């Protein structure tokens, strides 16, 4: 008689460990990626067992299908957590860098770097929970003024990038200007008593150029914007 518990023991243990990882909100993207790779390895084994044993028992078939569905759902969750910022749900640093690199290998792209002005003062005056709300509110404002094909990423802290595939520099400056104008037009809903502004740097990369060059040029433009008083858009 087939012992189902023993048959699926390894998969059940992997599933339990991966569920524990997926339930965490403060782990690194690398931790989620490692858990995802482990789930994928056992998913392949499960598929082999499915083809070998599917005809032997209806009960085994049902159990295989159940574990298979759980592994697939968990793999999707881990993949998402490995590539997205847990606070804002935009691409995390590693994922946005990879998207920029892939985009440049296939064509031109423009990049916007946005940094919230005087964000430390917001944290000091209103507390870090409010600071997190401001970051999320600002991301919503960025999303409202970016085209559908834009990829928004959180590089770290209060710094964000907007990848614009196949955009000319002049068109990317228009997008950056729209975000900048919106922030100056009205406060964020989470902090209605004052404006939250940002400095923005914009750059352009030709097909075949690399992430470092595109990012560094936008970063220099951002530095110029800050040196000229913040709350403005510069490009190079």
Residues annotated as catalytic are 158
Closest CA to 133 of 117, 153, 119: 119
Answer whether 108's CB lies under 8 Å from 206's CB.
yes
CA distance between the termini of the chain: 72
Strands 109-116 and 159-165: antiparallel
Run of H or E residues at 204: strand 198-205
The token pair that represents 41 in the structure block? 């390895």
Cα–Cα distance between 50 and 140 in angstroms, integer?
44
Side-chain half-sphere exposure of 231, counting CA atoms within 13 A: 11
Phi, psi torsion values for 110, nearest 5 degrees: -115, 155
Q: Determine contact, residues 200/114, Cβ cutoff 8 Å.
A: yes
Q: Are 200 and 112 in contact (CB under 8 A)?
A: yes
């Amino acid at each position: 008689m087939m012992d189902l518990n023993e048959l699926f023991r390894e998969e059940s243990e992997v599933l339990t460990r991966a569920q524990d990882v997926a339930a965490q909100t403060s782990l690194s993207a690398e931790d989620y990626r490692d858990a995802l790779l482990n789930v994928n390895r056992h998913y392949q084994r499960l598929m082999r067992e499915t083809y070998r044993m599917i005809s032997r028992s209806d009960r085994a078939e049902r159990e295989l299908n159940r574990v298979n569905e759980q592994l697939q759902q968990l793999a999707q969750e881990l993949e998402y957590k490995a590539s997205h910022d847990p606070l804002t749900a935009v691409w995390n640093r590693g994922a946005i860098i990879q998207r920029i690199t892939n985009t440049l290998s296939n064509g031109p792209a423009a990049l916007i770097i946005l940094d919230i002005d005087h964000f430390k003062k917001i944290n000091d005056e209103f507390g870090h929970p409010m600071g997190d709300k401001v970051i999320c509110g600002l991301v919503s404002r960025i999303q409202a003024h970016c085209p559908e094909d834009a990829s928004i990423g959180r590089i770290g802290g209060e710094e964000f990038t907007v990848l614009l595939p196949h955009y000319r520099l002049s068109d990317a400056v228009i997008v950056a200007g729209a975000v900048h104008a919106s922030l100056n037009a009205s406060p964020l809903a989470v902090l209605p008593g004052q404006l939250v502004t940002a400095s923005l740097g914009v750059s352009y990369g030709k097909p075949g150029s690399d992430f470092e060059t595109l990012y560094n040029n936008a970063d220099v433009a951002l530095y110029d914007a800050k040196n000229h008083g913040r709350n403005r858009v510069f490009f190079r």
